Amino acid sequence: MRDVRTDRRVFLRGVGAVAAGMAATALTGCGTGTSRSVDGGSGKNSKTLVVRNSGGTYGDANQKAVYDPFTKETGIQVKVVNIEYAQMLAQIKQGRPQFDVIDDSMADFVLFKQAGATETLDFDRLKNFKNAGIAKSLVTSNAVGKNYWASVMAYRTDAFGGKKPSSWADFWDTKAFPGSRALQALDADLPELEFALLADGVDPDKLYPLDVDRAFRSLDAIKGDVKKFWDTGALPGVLLGRKEVVASSVWHGRLDALIKGGAPLAYQWNGARRQSNALGIPKGAANLDAAYKLVDFSLRPEVQAHYAELYPMAPTVPAAYKKLSSTTAANLASSPAHLESGFDLDVEWWIKHQDAVSKRWQEWTHA
């Protein structure tokens, strides 16, 4: 899921670093900025809408499932830019955003709101939102959740004599489930303190506010068995495939191709840490009406289902599951079973505490 987490690297550097980077960011984006109005007329083809997303295979899926059908229905052309938070904020602060819709992590939308950089959404203009049933945690004044991703456990199915680890407590239990482990590095995403707390017996409903001291004590117990702290999304699959480790945290979806190819690997969804991408509109968007139309279109159950069939990020609209194949539905973070067994990362807690936790994590990993 590297395509989405490209944005997270900016978030992980902290709000201060983002502000510093903003001052040095040029106003020109990645080749957009042109032809905001195509012909100035009143016909279907009178507007070009510019959408920011993180590109890669994530962007390809959006093009096929969202943008192309939207253009076919409305006549509104969609251009895409792939720029990071600091450059987006710089353009907005200058009053010249070269994009009309932002597709980004919910964490960045919290920062956008703090900076006063995004529109307060008029939900009356989002007709598909009214009965969508999107979780309250994915709806803020400036953003609406578009899809989920998750960090989960992965393991070799041939490693434990037929036994299957069923929890993070099992991941931590190297006597019952012997072998080396891998966990996520700070350079990849937020430290996995939640998994350490779940392994130590904390109820998923009582994770936040995180007991940081308890989490690091739990991490101490497994540190000697962690062979690698991985910093790229592809690395867990490499480590597991080479039998360098028998279990690892992983961004869900990263092992799909290996599993389909017959590799003895599996996901364990119990205790999955969910995060989400959302849609919002920057202050000063040139095509406000078209922006609302695209956000609304993205919340249709059939559009969400089409996207999930192309890319392993889960719908935020429950009705999308009625339109998904059972095979696809069983492998998504927002399926009913996985919603019950996992938890949503508390974005605001992490924004408040991420600098201190990151410093402590660095000290712990180098101790």
DSSP string covering 296-339: HHHTSHHHHHHHHHHSS-EESSGGGGGGS-HHHHTTSTTSHHHH
Domain-wise residue ranges, the chain: 2-148+276-334, 150-274+347-359
Let me know the angle formed at the C-alpha of 153 by 148 and 154, rounded to the nearest 5 degrees: 110
Residue type, 26: A
Q: Which fold has domain 2-148+276-334?
A: D-Maltodextrin-Binding Protein; domain 2 (3.40.190)
DSSP annotation of 225 reads G
Q: Which fold has domain 150-274+347-359?
A: D-Maltodextrin-Binding Protein; domain 2 (3.40.190)
Each residue's pLDDT, cut to its tens digit, for the chain (367 residues) gives: 334 544 444 334 333 333 333 333 322 233 333 334 433 333 344 589 999 999 999 999 999 999 999 999 999 999 999 999 999 999 999 999 999 999 999 999 999 999 999 999 999 999 999 999 999 999 999 999 999 999 999 999 999 998 999 999 999 999 999 999 999 999 999 999 999 999 999 999 999 999 999 999 999 999 999 999 999 999 999 999 999 999 999 999 999 999 999 999 999 999 999 999 999 999 999 999 999 999 999 999 999 999 999 999 999 999 999 999 999 999 999 999 999 999 999 999 999 999 999 999 999 999 9
> Contact at 8 Å (CB) between 315 and 304?
yes
Q: What is the pTM of this model?
A: 0.85
Q: Do domains 2-148+276-334 and 150-274+347-359 have the same CATH topology?
A: yes
